[in-house]
Amino acid sequence: MSDEPAEATVVDLASVTRTLRTALLELPGILRLEPTVHSTLTRLRTSAVDSVQRRLKPTNDGPHHASSDGLVLSLADGLLAVQIDIATDIGHSALTLAERAQTLAARTIERSGFTVGSVAVTILSIESGSAPTERTAPED
């Protein structure tokens, strides 16, 4: 029996994206995954290409890219690369959060049957994690 993941695993990059998104949002200090122009364009391109491929080749393995706001996954040569764009809480070390996000992503990818290519984390915003308070105008 081979140690390599089965070809059928390629079919479900969307599932890996959902699982990774959920896991990252549960990580203390990550406020949200940030949408970027890159992730939005990748999602639109993937949707269009997937639609065309389903019409032309119904037995297609599925997309080799998947994305959601703040996440872009790309499968090439058997390696899964991930780009994560996050907003963090100022009360947490940005470097520590980036390292934890990378480790979490690598584990999630491996548990899904893929081989980790790269995991890049970009911190787009560092903000107060508390809800904004409403300010009232001083009385005269």
> Tell me: the pLDDT tens digits for 54-71?
566 555 555 588 888 899
pLDDT at position 132, please?
47
Q: Tell me the per-residue pLDDT of 16-55, one tens digit each, with 9 for 90 and over.
A: 999 999 999 999 999 999 887 665 666 566 555 555 555 6
In the chain, what are the domains?
9-127 (3.30.70.1350)
Angle at which helices 94-111 and 13-25 cross, to 10°: 150
Percent of the chain at pLDDT exceeding 90: 49
Instruction: Specify the DSSP element, H or E, that contains 37.
Output: helix 37-56
pLDDT at position 63, please?
52
Average pLDDT, the chain: 78
Q: Measured between alpha carbons, how far is residue 89 from residues 53, 67, 92, 104, 127 in Å?
A: 41, 23, 6, 18, 5
**Of 140, 78, 63, whose CA–CA distance to 109 is shortest?**
78
Those residues with Cβ within 8 angstroms of residue 66's Cβ, 6 or more apart along the chain or in another chain: 13, 14, 16, 17, 46, 72, 73
Task: Estimate to the nearest angstrom the gap between the alpha carbon of 47 and the chain centroid.
Answer: 16
Give the span between the Cα atoms of 83 and 44, in whole angstroms. Answer: 16
Give the span between the Cα atoms of 70 and 85, in whole angstroms. Answer: 5
Give SS3 for 86: strand
Indicate the pLDDT class of residue 115, thresholds 50, 70 and 90. very high
